[in-house]
Amino acid sequence: MKKDLPENLVEDIFIAVVLENETPHAKSWGVYLINLKETAIETILVTSKGYGERNGEEVKTSVLRHMIPTLEAKSFAKIEMIDEEVFGLNNEYWLSYYLGRDIFDKKFIFLPESIVESNFIKIPLLNMPGVMIGV
């Protein structure tokens, strides 16, 4: 049963939506996994999807799955590109990874309209503007 499993808390792991490039005509955005731990994480699986309401109708994006074999300590990996069109939806990233023999998982959700300039910070390790969530 789920209650019998150890509660492995995800710490020092973040998901960030980053403004990678901006021209007068367009902006390009990327989603990154950031490992601020002192140790590598392995066998990383990330599923991503968007969902919510637009103009009174329910909207769902496709579910995408990503695999990263290893993410070294104090490093980052790009998960995917993201289009501004989905910023008005909930953007969910479900992360699972191994640290040694233990498995960890956490759901990260960017709420609608949370990816806005007023929420930007300088993203650690990437040194680019964006919105980061984690514990």
- What is the structure's pLDDT at 19? 96
Tens-digit pLDDT profile for residues 100-132: 999 999 999 999 989 999 999 999 999 999 999
CA dihedral of residues 124, 128, 130, 132 (deg, nearest 10): -10
Length of the chain: 135
User: Which pLDDT value is given to residue 58?
Assistant: 95
Q: What is the rounded CA–CA span in Å between residue 43 and residue 39?
A: 14
Mean pLDDT across the stretch 69-88? 96
